[in-house]
Structure 1
Amino acid sequence: MSFQQGLSGLNASSKTLDVIGNNIANANTVGAKATRAEFGDLYSHAMSGTGVNKVGIGVTLASVAQQFTQGNVITTENPLDVAINGTGFFQVANVRRVPNAAADAAPTLDGPPLYGRNGQFKVDRNGFLVNNQQQVLLGYVADVNGNIVPGMAKPLQLPTAGVRPQQTSSIKMEFNVDSRAAVLSRPASNIEFENPLTYNNATSQTVYDEKGQDIALTYYYQKTGADTWDVYATANGKPLLTETVDGAEVPSRIATVHFPSSGANPVNGAPSADGQGARIVSYPGGVVSTDGRITIGVPADEARGTLAIAGIQLDMSAATQFGTPFGVTNLAQNGFAPGQLIGVTIDDTGIITARFSNGQSKAAGQIELANFRNLQGLQPVGGNVWAATFASGDASVGAPGSGNMGLLRAGALEESNIDLTGELVNMITAQRNYQANAQTIKTQDQVMQTIVNLR
């Protein structure tokens, strides 16, 4: 027996305790992965290498291997907390701080991406998603219309400046007018919006000008024949169209709807009762619409400061005339006022959706995940992230849920996969091994002392 075996055993037990201590210290680190000390035995070698009665000369640390198994997923109250359920890593990157750079300038990446499972993200002052080390999260960005643009992963930024207003350019109307309603004998030119006896039904909606200022549109429906209805409209109480009758300016209809005798949609339907066919006629000019769509314009209102809106496409092709009370099933328009960012949501495929105070929402980007063929080849660099190496191979990237990538869960975090109870038991075992190896050194010392004391 020599001192070398016992000394190597002491070193091995010490390394084991180091690994166990590191695991215990990171038991509460989000996304941390347990490590395991792996050892190999040592033998001396003769020149010929033919000895069969070799005695080992100790043990060596072969590797400290990380265990990339799934940790438990716990829910949180933070929508920017994200957990990966399955394989894959978040991609983050260090940022080079450029002096005097504009506040909204895209960050300059400093080095290749790093990879981690810690999904504790926050928003920095420029709207970029960052981790606690101020490394930016990478993914696919979205264009101004909220369409995801696949390609090279870039820093993800939330639209903290809000969303610009959009002028109304189209309106979709789905409604039913009651076929049992009385035909009004009052001439159409004598309609009075403040007098409900001059029209059968009315409904309203809000549209927006170029500045995002709201304009109240009100539609009035006046039955003028068995299957014929005139439609009037006002903007903030003022008629969209007017005409001169007997020297006086009076409201003018914007359209006449001729329903088929069946009451179905006024486009491509059966002939109407007057035999003129189902159709919609728009004014001024009495232009027959072939698809149920007409063009209207909203005049400016100097008193309220709203701008004129030209060329709004009004689609009434889905209108019906059945024997049920008047009802509007859809009255949609595509304009909106300016809005500020009030929240974000992240779905299981990594798409980040921004919600604004004006009720709008649009995609702000998509998180991209990375995976490796040899996870043991990743090099830990601190801050709960790893760097790719030659041994790990190049990263394969993709959207969550694609290929072998896991899915994401927002408002949740992945705990470390460290078994604290198991580590405490391993620590007891390592302590016993350390004591046993120390005992072999003590015994060897006693044997040598006995030899020295021989007379």
Structure 2
Amino acid sequence: MSFNIGLSGIRAASSDLNITGNNIANASTVGFKSARAEFGDVYAASILGTGSNAQGSGVVLNNVAQIFTQGNINYTENSLDLAINGNGFFVTSNNGALSYTRAGYFGTDREGFIVNNLGGRLQGYGVNAVTGRINEGVPTDLRVDTRAANPNRTSVINSTLNLNSSSVRPVAAQNTYDSTYAQAYRDHLVDIGADPDAPTAEQRAAADGIAAAAARTAANTTAVANFDPSDSSTYNSSTSVTVYDSLGNSHVMSKYFIKTDANTWDMHVLIDGRNLAGVAATDPEFSSEPYQLRFNAAGALVAGQTTTIPEWRPLDANGQPAGAELQELTLDLTGSSQYASGFGVTSVVQDGYTTGELAGLEIDDQGMLIARYTNGQTKTQGQLVLATFANQQGLKPLGDTAWAQSSASGEPVVGAPGSGTLGMVQSGALEQSNVDLSEMLINLIVAQRNYQANAKTIQTEDAVTQTIINLR
């Protein structure tokens, strides 16, 4: 019996060496999980069990257990290299056969599917083409959509600015105001039979009100008639913003501000140097109808906060229809002010953008696959899923750092990273092997000595047997 006991010990030590050697060999394998040998003693037993003084019959390898502890995370320069920080496995499909791995070597194949280095397709949730929301449900093959992003036409332009309260009317408008005021003042006094050179206080006040009203009207008419976007003396301030039509063509919207009276301003809006009717500023028939802005005594905008352009027809560089849709534009100046400081735009936001080519991919810690485009926009194209099991030790190793479900592991629990007990995903990183080389080298020494000791058991048993054989 001692021969069998020693032989079982040698087999056990050899298995221990094999397992330790395999751990050492995979010390640099991404996603590899180390294993350990679990042994059990052997006793000969009858139906009634073993006796109280039963002698052991050796050792047996009960299990090769995987150690699913976290490996170190190393960062790379590939955004599709993925690491799991916490619990869970990536789910991959090879022609419908699912496997589970911690190795995050991923890239794209010629069809745009996200695959690992063995061609298995990464599984995740797709995106609803209409709503753009994640379709949480049955996972599918994740695929990168390389098509250009659709443009979005501008509908709202939000601007916040300050108009200088110390500004005066443009020169031509002010000259018209002064001359009209003087003439209207004198004409009124003459009309009522008053002495133009020595009116009473009451006559002077009445004449001033009538003259000022006439002068404002005339000055405003002059300001509108003289407005020329190429002549800065015909307006006080200006600012521009790029807007987009339904085809993604860019256009420059310019706003020109002219002070018409205390706390009152005219705003002229031009797009690509044309008025909203499409007439170019260089055309002799050019004219621009202004929008009025009014501020209160505290400098806050109280009228003209929102201006709607009901139908703008985009034109090309030659002034011909660009083929884009008619669109409504809303200019929102809410929050603008009129203080005694220089003109300045504090913020400007418009909601349109041109078409864009795919510039890169990112995956956030919740597994969202986000595409970046050359127009500065982003789009969610899916969300990868992770899986966990009630008994990870029951998973069946497939090699290539992959495991398969088994009856012992139970059914996979699939969900988005960060949900339930699932860990988070780190993009641009890989999880290294969890092998502790120092521990493995010590295990080699222990296994070697166990092997030698069991060999000594056989040698001793051989000597005893030889002694018995030599008895006469």
TM-score, normalised via structure 1 length: 0.85
Amino acid across the alignment from 1:116? T
Shift of 1:417: 0.4
Which runs of 5 or more structure 1 residues have no equivalent in the other structure?
Answer: 97-109, 267-278, 281-290
Q: Which residue of 2 aligns with 1:285?
A: none
Match of 1:31 in 2: 31
**TM-score under structure 2 normalisation?**
0.82
Identity of aligned residues (%): 45
Q: Distance in 1 between matches of 2:232 and 2:25?
A: 77
Aligned to 2:265: 229
> Offset at 1:257?
1.8
Q: Would the aligned equivalents of 1:242 and 1:251 in 2 still touch at CA under 8 Å?
A: no
The one-character-per-residue Cα deviations of 1:22-74 (angstroms, maximum 9, x if unpaired) are: 11111101111000010111100134335111111111111000001111111
CA contact (8 A) 1:212 1:337 kept: yes
Q: Do residues 129 (structure 1) and 114 (structure 2) align?
A: yes
User: What is the match of residue 309 of structure 2?
Assistant: 295
Paired residue for 2:426?
409
Q: Which amino acid is 1:208 matched to?
A: Y
Larger gyration radius, structure 1 or structure 2: 2
Q: Structure 1, residues 251-296: CA drift from partner, whole Å, max 9, x if none? A: 2235222223322233xxxxxxxxxxxx22xxxxxxxxxx724135
Q: Which residue of structure 1 aligns with residue 287 of structure 2?
A: 251
Q: 1:435 to 1:154 in 2, by over 3 A?
A: same
Whole-Å separation in 1 of the counterparts to 2:137 and 2:160 = 40
Tell me, yes or no, if the aligned pair for 1:293 and 1:317 is still in contact at 8 Å.
no
Segments of 5+ residues of structure 2 without an aligned counterpart are 174-221
Aligned to 1:17, what secondary structure does the other structure show? helix
**Matches of 1:242 and 1:81, distance apart in 2:** 52
Do 1:235 and 1:298's aligned partners in 2 also have CA atoms closer than 8 Å?
no
- Closer/same/farther in 2, CA of residues 293 and 365 from structure 1, 3 Å limit: farther
**In structure 1, C-alpha distance between the alignment counterparts of 2:284 and 2:438, rounded to whole Å:** 92
Q: Hey, which of these two has a bigger chunk of helix by percent?
A: 2
- By how many angstroms is 1:199 displaced? 0.9
Identify the residue that residue 178 of structure 1 maps to in structure 2. 164
3-state DSSP class of the match of 2:433?
A: coil
- For residues 29 and 52 of structure 1, the distance between their equivalents in structure 2, rounded to whole angstroms, comes to 48
Q: Is the 8 A contact 2:306 2:330 kept in 1?
A: no
1:36 aligned counterpart, secondary structure: strand
- Counterparts of 1:37-186 in structure 2 under 5 Å? 37-49=37-49, 51-94=51-94, 96=95, 110-111=96-97, 113-144=98-129, 146-184=132-170, 185=173, 186=222
1:200 counterpart residue number: 236
* Counterpart-to-counterpart distance in 1, 2:26 and 2:290: 71
State the Cα deviation string for residues 114-160 of structure 1 (Å, max 9, x = none): 22111121122222221111111122223457543333222222232
Q: CA RMSD in A?
A: 2.2
Mapped contact 1:241–1:254 kept (Cα < 8 A): no
For 1:411 and 1:183, locate their aligned partners in 2 and report how far apart those are by CA, in whole Å: 60
Q: 1:228 to 1:142 in 2, by over 3 A?
A: farther
- Residue 422 (structure 2) pairs with residue 422 (structure 1): no
Correspondence list, 1:414-453, <5 A:
414-453=431-470
Instruction: State which of 403, 417, 428 in structure 2 corresponds to 1:386.
Output: 403
Decide which structure has greater strand share. 1
Match of 2:368 in 1: 351
Distance 1:192 1:142, change over 3 A: same
Instruction: Please list the CA deviations of residues 322-362 of structure 1 after superposition, one character each: whole Å capped at 9, or x if unmatched.
Output: 22221112222222222111112222222222111121122
Summarize the Cα distance change of 1:329–1:34 in structure 2 as closer, same or farther, 3 Å threshold.
Answer: same
CA displacement 1:407-455 (0-9 Å, x = unmatched): 2222221111001121122112111111211221222222222222222
Give the distance between the partners of 1:224 and 1:203, measured in 2 at CA.
18
| CA distance in 2 between partners of 1:143 and 1:329 (Å) | 38
Distance in 2, Cα, partners of 1:242 & 1:388: 68
| Matched-pair contact (CA < 8 Å) for 2:294–2:301 | no
Q: Distance in 2 between matches of 1:16 and 1:325?
A: 82
**SS at 1:447 equivalent:** helix
Whether contact under 8 Å (1:242, 1:252) holds in the other structure is no
Q: Report the Cα offset of residue 367 of structure 1.
A: 2.3
Structure 1 distance, partners of 2:30, 2:418, is 22
Which of 368, 377, 380 is 2:394 aligned to? 377
**Secondary structure at the counterpart of residue 158 of structure 1:** coil
